[in-house]
Structure 1
């Protein structure tokens, strides 16, 4: 099976060879009893990572889930499986609390986002290849529109406080995680660890509100269908200043790339609650932020980071998204 689209022949051959080699090793490991679970889990994760690099997000998701079934003690693979079970399977509906207003995008204007350009040289290769799958004639200027900040809050303050309270309630039992993201560690709790009603509310909020808005904001050449967007990961993050008593979170997040087509940051508290902070975009030098409910969307492969918080605590909901391809699940 060929996985790559639009890459150079050399890159295609090298990655396809690596995929074939690892697939062969996995086939052998599943039939050999002497292969340890740790060794097999490493192969599943390497294969999934190669597929992510190739832009085959749905196939990567399938590989991670298969690896989770085979390796039940590997935390990384189990995380992928929990995200899938929480957000990609239509479970029974769950009523949310009455104090959360329904999300309705019918009255929102199409230009709700302020759009910023990235320099042509900073446009991720992944974005260019996605556009080339639709047409060989790619308008680079159109593809540069990859940074979006809502001009007004999209989620209500009540909804934002609801998410913060849910995170604090869950971490009082489970604690905060600080070592899941090796390249750019955050102090966070996965959304699937929140109460079921919160998970259902977040799923509905994504499908009915944010996915349609994001699909409209990004370049048409990327051909993003909001009905095919899928959550790759979602977690509540806190940033805390150094001088805060009983500090929990990290002060900042170092610049990095996400393994996603689209990444999304939602502010959960107002900027008056802290000094500093914000989403830093390396290629433009922009620092994007807003009060509770403000949504920031950007191409995942754009280098970005969390600007240092100098006072107080900054809360955000972070999500990464991939695109589902028909027939891959």
Structure 2
């Protein structure tokens, strides 16, 4: 017969019934305790997260006193499993230890404290209970053969506990201060295992090292394989810079220690797939010569790093290899990584542009809308076109760009129109107060006319329905008043309907310039938008609330007859009229008047809606295109930056005197604060020469150059104002120091360019390219985008 299957099944269950467990124990007495791999029912129970002290009391009598210490084929006992179980409690341990008896516990475990130090319930409060005198004799007792770890002290056992905490560690250290350098049968001490434990924090390590001051040998002790605690740390997952710095600071000699394979801690750290890059740099800074060490196989740390893709980067490998010796494989890997890093930077910029495309588009749309509201219609059109070209993924701008392209080319085709007459007279007071279009003295009115061929309009309506492949879509049209429209853009139409619309729009635009001559003032009428709207009684869009358009002049053309629906029509708020008509009816009116679409109560009403603006600016003598496009470009890529420290000033006597004062202050301060033995930057001599020549432009550029050199090549002490040469190369664009130094310098340079003379601008750009972009191996545009991202928090 096999092991007691029923009892094992109960011990594995999600709920543990004490009475059932006792009954199963009684029923299966006499059966073998172990299955084919050495497992007992007690193994199953101690591994179960539902385990309780009562369940343990029920199952322990199924075997002898040492059942809790019986090991399976993996050399694991039930007590081992219970200690690792996250549900374990002191009460459960007490039940098991009481069943075993003190003699067996001492013989097989060392002491009850050994057991507690191995358990996940080894909290500071639980450990404090062991301060009673009867336990002190066991505190430094070594665990016997066959225990958790042969020869381990409670401190050593606790240091391997994955549930170890700072407070609990402090309690155990206070218990056993003399066991800090005690090693187990493998030659490893508590510090070895604390460094290998993934639960160890930098503060825990520093607290332990503070206790090691009286026994410094524990920090650099080696086990039977020649490993120091630093070797253990460099092999553990998540080896961090903070842990490495703390351990190396306490025992710097460990950084150069090699094991029986000739491997230093840096070899293992460079081979650790889950180490932090900062840990490698920290260890390299502490012992730079170790990078040249070859192990028993002739490999340097750089060779191991080159084979660890999760850790290796171009900049990290370059730093490690620079301290080592020549290695063709490492050099080849550097070439691969440099190419990959360049590709990654391009991909990052592309992703960043894609991720912020909506923000970019919003900037262009806001600029265009601002100019439209001011009546600068020509600039509005150019800004929309430029934004569409720069942000092709944005629907609103792409729609604008496609609309402009559709109607940009003049067509000779025309659609015959009938005469137009006033359908509703308006006054200047009927224009929305928040709009300021210049109607040039035109008599404001809603004009009514017609397309001669009404059948063509009906056929156009049918073509529009066919073009709406999925459905008429609701779009937010952010005009002067935000409103929703169920529409199909004119750009969605196929030929020949597309060609007919171009001819129709050309005819309507020409007629609009005649009806509103003062508004267009001889300028051609340009299409700001053109789309088809559907009012449907049976669907969710039956009417359009009153609003104003973003156009100077709007046109509404009926595409089907009034008999196809009930209700509907153009509501003119100022006149109180509802205007409507059969297919082909046209209403032309100022876009700034309040109007809406009357609700359709039956059937479907279809119209063409056309927005027109004059291709001219209100300030005819002011050419704004270049300035506004430049402003749009800054909105796309430039960071929000603080006012520059130095601003461009005209070379007047007062400005020159102020600049000279700044230059003199910088040069005198530099001379007084430069560290002893530090070389003066060459730019300081050039700035001094410009000062002596009283050359304004040379001083202005020289001031920036000297400031760049000081910022990049020097560091100021935290406790004094002494400028000392920096050890930081500022060549890694991902490095925090590089980002903190170069990005603000770029912003300052851009601020100084504003208002400067052309030659000065060129000289400043040369400084940006030579001193900033080239330092991180970037092209000018790439560096500008990188700096902008850094300053925006990217």
Q: TM-score range by the shorter chain?
A: 0.7 to 0.9
**1:275 corresponds to:** 566
Contact 2:360 2:391 in 1 (8 A): yes
**2:524 corresponds to:** 228
Contact 1:58 1:328 in 2 (8 A): no
**2:405 corresponds to:** 85
> Are 2:506 and 1:199 equivalent residues in the alignment?
no
Mark the CA change 1:41 to 1:288 in structure 2 (over 3 Å): closer, same or farther: same
> Are 2:487 and 1:188 equivalent residues in the alignment?
yes
Where 2:532 maps in the other structure, the secondary structure is strand
**1:48 corresponds to:** 368
Alignment match of 2:614 (pick from 313, 323, 326): 323
Contact 1:230 1:321 in 2 (8 A): yes
Where 1:116 maps in the other structure, the secondary structure is strand
Distance in 2 between residues matched to 1:44 and 1:166, nearest whole Å: 33
Distance in 1 between residues matched to 2:424 and 2:463, nearest whole Å: 33
With 318-327 and 274-283 compared, the bigger mean Cα shift is at: 318-327
Distance in 1 between residues matched to 2:543 and 2:402, nearest whole Å: 27
Distance in 1 between residues matched to 2:459 and 2:360, nearest whole Å: 40
Distance in 2 between residues matched to 1:148 and 1:90, nearest whole Å: 25
Distance in 1 between residues matched to 2:545 and 2:386, nearest whole Å: 32
TM (normalized to structure 1)? 0.73
Shift of 1:224: 4.5
**2:421 corresponds to:** 113
**1:160 corresponds to:** 457
Mark the CA change 1:236 to 1:33 in structure 2 (over 3 Å): closer, same or farther: closer
Distance in 1 between residues matched to 2:437 and 2:474, nearest whole Å: 33
Where 1:199 maps in the other structure, the secondary structure is helix
Distance in 2 between residues matched to 1:155 and 1:180, nearest whole Å: 33
Distance in 2 between residues matched to 1:282 and 1:254, nearest whole Å: 11
**2:448 corresponds to:** 149
Cα RMSD after superposing both structures: 2.8
With 179-188 and 231-240 compared, the bigger mean Cα shift is at: 179-188
Distance in 2 between residues matched to 1:158 and 1:328, nearest whole Å: 44
Where 2:533 maps in the other structure, the secondary structure is strand
Alignment match of 1:178 (pick from 470, 474, 477): 474
Contact 2:416 2:452 in 1 (8 A): no
Query: 1:210-246 CA deviation, whole Å, 9 max, x = no partner?
Result: 233222223x433454x701111111111011xx3xx
Mapping 1:55-70, distance limit 5 Å: 55-70=375-390
Mapping 1:282-301, distance limit 5 Å: 282-301=573-592
Q: What residue ranges of structure 1 are gaps of 5+ in the alignment?
A: 1-30, 96-101, 132-137
Query: 1:143-185 CA deviation, whole Å, 9 max, x = no partner?
Result: 44321112xx3242221122111111111x2432212325221
TM (normalized to structure 2)? 0.32
Where 2:483 maps in the other structure, the secondary structure is coil
Structure with larger RCO (C-alpha < 8 A, sep 6+)? 1
Where 1:77 maps in the other structure, the secondary structure is helix
With 318-327 and 307-316 compared, the bigger mean Cα shift is at: 318-327
Contact 1:280 1:288 in 2 (8 A): yes
**1:210 corresponds to:** 508
Which stretches of structure 1, 4 residues or longer, exceed 4 Å deviation after superposition?
31-35, 124-128, 326-329
Alignment match of 2:438 (pick from 129, 134, 137): 129
Shift of 1:33: 9.3
How many residue pairs get aligned? The number is 266
Query: 1:256-283 CA deviation, whole Å, 9 max, x = no partner?
Result: 1111110000011111111110101112
Where 1:283 maps in the other structure, the secondary structure is coil
Mark the CA change 1:223 to 1:195 in structure 2 (over 3 Å): closer, same or farther: closer
Higher helix proportion: 2
Distance in 2 between residues matched to 1:50 and 1:260, nearest whole Å: 13
- Structure having the higher Rg: 2
